[in-house]
Amino acid sequence: MAGFFGSREGVLLSSQQFKRQLDRVYRWYTLGLVVFVVILALLERAGLPRLWIGTAFLLATIGLYAGIGVMSRTTDASEYYVAGRRVPAVYNGMATGADWMSAASFIGLAGTLYLTGYSGLAFIMGWTGGYCLVALVLAPYLRKFGQFTIPDFLGERYGGSLPRLIGVAAAILCSFTYLVAQIYGVGLITSYLTGIAFELGIFLGLGGILVCSFLGGMRAVTWTQVAQYIILVVAYLIPVVWLSVKQTGVPVPQLVYGFQLEKVTAKEKELTADPRELQVRELFRQRSEALSGKLAQPAESLAADKLAAAKRMEQLKTGNASVADISSAAKALATMPRDEAAAVKAWTAAKAAADIKTQPLNGMPAHATQFSGNPDGTPKEQETYDTSRRNFLALVFCLMVGTAALPHILMRYYTVPSVREARQSVTWSLVCIFLLYFTAPALAVLVKYEIFTVLVGMPFDQLPAWVNSWTRVDPSLLSVTDINKDNILQLNEMNIGGDIVVLLTPELAGLPYVISGLVAAGGLAAALSTADGLLLTIANALGHDLYYKMIDPNASTVSRVTVSKILLLIVALLAAYVAAQKPADILFLVSAAFSFAAASFFPALSLGIFWKRANGIGAVLGMVCGLGVTSYYMFTNQAWLRATFGITSPVQLWWGIDPISAGLFGVPVGFAVIVLVSLVTRPPSQKVQELVEYIRYPDLKRL
């Protein structure tokens, strides 16, 4: 069976035979996927319970990935680290697509677009535009250099162990923060699919990741990622196409959602002025005021609240109230804040939530409006507009440069056979990614149209069943409360978490549950494939760069690969442990990884290729300073990091830039330091200059 992904009876296939064989394997695989979904759909009609469908998807996909892992097991260093360097450009593009599109892209992106409208497009542009930098500035040259990891390049180009060591540290820093977010996503989806506990879900998913990357390294990861790409794209497209047919009759949502956007914009105006919406907003304003009253005198208010709750309990008990009333009153009493500090915290959070709901459209900006504020309005509005626009551009910049510097993506271009295929492969990667990112804005608009026109205004007792079933899964993801007691759902009476929008689409479109299962399996594929790539990057940085290149250069191939595998296991368990703690603010963690990667790697890598004069000291100081500035800005200004590390210095934003885009300051500092320090110190050796010359030409035949 191992012959599928490499040699047959030990004989290496020619690259064309290999590609034909891959075509055949993945054609059968796609057919199998379709048959599997159709069979499950028929079984659902015959009455198969939902839980079984979810479990079937979970077990079948994880089993499939593990199977590919077993078939591709290897201890050969070149197979383990770079899949034997013979992945055809198209397949490397698909694998990069899966590697790239994480749980954040698959589950979170459309939700972010739904909630923030135009501002969310920063993610679309940032996460695709970065590939221009990958293609033009990095990928072909790294492929020509042709080692195993990114720290390898830094070590060779800048000489000595220090650049390599910083490279290792930075690679681990950004990959690990990113990895935690993926494993968190895995836990979320497995618990949705099968109803098992979140923590158990994490470890189940982890098993799938480990079998794959543990046995076969990059070789297994590559072939699994291709399989995962196919699942995730199919799963993403089906519900959107269906929703588009339902709303417009045209099965190409990417072409027609502009017209739906016009209707959404009209509906937004209507909802802003709707009397029932105004009523709900007024009720939230009163709630917010009551809470600020409480916050002014926390000690007295808490005592009064406790007294009132106890009194109510007494009344209910003596007055023959129903069991449900008594138990809810008891629950209210039990969940009272314990002390003043807890009360202040809870009330501040409640007030912030209520304040959002005093705004029109549930606090969402109008979908098509670029930036908040108004360039022609009052000075304050102008200021808001300028800051909002600056932050949009800064975020695009950080995401783009970060994309071009994330080691797990750059590593993928080591696996193609040639420089020419590396360039083609970036094109294929972008096309594969394009398919999903082109669709996400359409999905957000179509979902918004569906919610605004169908769901909003519906009587509470006629709401579809999935509304209640999601509320049971997690009320922070979806909940509805009849605030003004008119039995009609208003937009401001509904809470939707961004992470649920994609999972919700099949149900909104009225598709059978099997498609919901498929979408969840797609999200799982997205999270697992990215986790695979990240885990491998960390393990290789430790096993190859730290152990082999720096600690024991005489280690045999087998022991190098073994060390990588053991480290893989440890890192995976560590990441699962951190993810099980449910660290706050996952989107922030992901974006922070981009800023870190941008500031630490991009200047050193690009100058290393395009500027011969860049030397080791410059690169070391540049990476340290870039990373330092980025971390400083993030740690002193980001609320969650400040709270976690107990930082009390006042928040000082530079030009109003949000800490999520801290790389905006780190990248130029990195460039400046490398250039200045290199110019005042000795130029790199002749050997290094020849290396730079060497990587600039795909093949130097006639030197």
Partner 1 sequence: MQPTESHRRYWRKNLAVTAVLLLVWFSVSFGVSYFARSLNFTFFGWPFSFWMGAQGALVVYCLIVGFYAWYMNRLDIEHDVADED
Rounded Cα distance between 626 and 622, Å, is 6
Nearer Cβ to partner 1 (236/392): 392
- DSSP for 32-76 reads HHHHHHHHHHHHHHTT--HHHHHHHHHHHHHHHHHHHHHHT----
Residue with token string 């209910």: 316
Question: At its nearest, how many Å lie between partner 1 and the CB of residue 256?
Answer: 8
Closer CB to partner 1, residue 86 or residue 549?
A: 86
Distance CA(667)–CA(397), nearest Å, equals 10
C-alpha to C-alpha distances, 427 to 99, 261, 420, nearest whole angstrom: 15, 30, 11
Q: Please tell me the distance from the alpha carbon of residue 590 to that of residue 105, in angstroms, as a whole number.
A: 11
Which residues, in sequence order, are bridge partners of residue 496? 478
Minimum distance of partner 1 from residue 245's CB (angstroms): 18
Judged by beta carbon, residue 18 or residue 176, the one nearer partner 1 is 18
Residue in 424, 404, 418, 525 with CA at minimum distance from that of residue 93: 424
Q: Is 545 left (phi over 0), alpha (psi -120 to 50) or beta?
A: alpha
Binding site for partner 1 (CB under 8 A): 15, 118, 121-122, 124-125, 128-129, 131-133, 135-137, 140, 144, 254, 257-259, 261-262, 368, 370-371, 375, 385, 389, 392-393, 396-397, 400, 417-421, 423-424, 426-427, 430-431, 434, 437-438, 441, 610, 690, 693, 696-703
SS3 of 11, please?
strand
The DSSP code sequence of 93-135 is: HHHHHHHHS-HIIIIIHHHHHHHHGGGGHHHHHHHHHHHHHII
Q: How far is the CB of 185 from partner 1 (least distance, A)?
A: 24
Is 288 in contact with 491 (CB distance < 8 Å)? no
Closest to 110 measured CA to CA, from 508, 400, 481, 480: 508
User: If DSSP codes are grouped into helix, strand and coil, which group holds residue 478?
Assistant: strand
The smaller minimum CB distance to partner 1, of residues 321 and 431, is found at 431
Does the CA dihedral 365-371-374-379 come out positive or negative? positive
Q: What is the rounded end-to-end Cα distance, in angstroms, of the chain?
A: 44
Question: Between 139 and 586, whose beta carbon lies closer to partner 1?
Answer: 139
Q: How many CB atoms lie within 10 A of CB 349?
A: 11
CB 681 → partner 1: shortest distance, Å?
A: 25
Residue tagged 């923590």 (tokens):
199
Nearest residue to 653 via CA among 663, 644, 662: 662
Decide: helix, strand or coil at residue 12.
coil
Q: Phi first, then psi: give them for residue 134, nearest 5 degrees.
A: -60, -45
Three-state secondary-structure class, residue 494:
strand
Q: Decide whether 476 or 689 has the Cβ nearer to partner 1.
A: 689
Q: How far is the CB of 400 from partner 1 (least distance, A)?
A: 7
- Nearest C-alpha neighbor of 261 from the set 41, 25, 514, 448: 448
Question: How far apart are CB 441 and partner 1 at their closest, in Å?
Answer: 4
> Of 144 and 560, which has the nearer Cβ to partner 1?
144
CB nearer partner 1, residue 552 or residue 699: 699
In terms of CB distance, is 182 or 260 closer to partner 1?
A: 260
Q: How far is the CB of 445 from partner 1 (least distance, A)?
A: 9
What is the Cβ-side half-sphere exposure of residue 652, based on CA atoms within 13 angstroms?
A: 4
The residue among 87 and 579 lying less far from partner 1, judged by its C-beta, is 87
Query: 370 or 471, CB closer to partner 1?
Result: 370
| Residue 495 backbone zone (phi > 0: left; psi -120 to 50: alpha; other: beta) | beta
Considering the complex, state which of residue 131 and residue 548 has its C-beta at the smaller distance from partner 1. 131
Q: Minimum CB separation from partner 1 for residue 405, in Å?
A: 16
Pick 172 or 261: Cβ nearer partner 1: 261
Least separation, in Å, of the C-beta of 420 and partner 1?
A: 6
Q: Which is nearer to partner 1, 137 or 290 (CB)?
A: 137
SS3 495: strand
CB of 225 to partner 1, least distance (A): 20
Q: How far is the CB of 591 from partner 1 (least distance, A)?
A: 17
* Amino acid, res. 207: G
Three-class DSSP category at 8: strand
Q: 34: which 2 tokens? A: 């379709």
Taking the complex as a whole, the smallest distance from the CB of residue 140 to partner 1 amounts, in Å, to 7
The smaller minimum CB distance to partner 1, of residues 260 and 631, is found at 260
User: Among candidates 185, 224, 210, 201, which has minimal Cα distance to 54?
Assistant: 201
C-alpha–C-alpha distance, residues 333 and 326, integer Å = 10
- For 478, phi and psi rounded to 5 degrees? -155, 125
Q: Please, which residue, 391 or 595, has the CB nearer to partner 1?
A: 391
The structure tokens listed for 159 are 């000489």
Q: Rounded to the nearest whole angstrom, what is the least distance from the CB of residue 661 to partner 1 in the complex?
A: 13
DSSP 476-508: TTEEE--TTSSSB--GGGEEE-GGGHHHHHHHH
Residue 228 has φ and ψ, to the nearest 5°, of -70, -35
Kindly report the number of other CB atoms within 10 A of residue 165's CB atom. Answer: 18
Residue 657, Ramachandran bin (φ over 0: left; ψ between -120 and 50: alpha; else beta): beta
**Minimal distance in Å, beta carbon 189 to partner 1?**
26
Instruction: Give the whole-angstrom CA distance, residue 74 versus residue 87.
Output: 16
Q: To the nearest whole angstrom, how small is the minimum distance from the Cβ of residue 425 to partner 1?
A: 9
Give the nearer residue to partner 1 in terms of CB position, either 306 or 696: 696
Smallest gap from residue 593 Cβ to partner 1 (A): 21
Residue 424 CB, shortest distance to partner 1, in Å, is 5
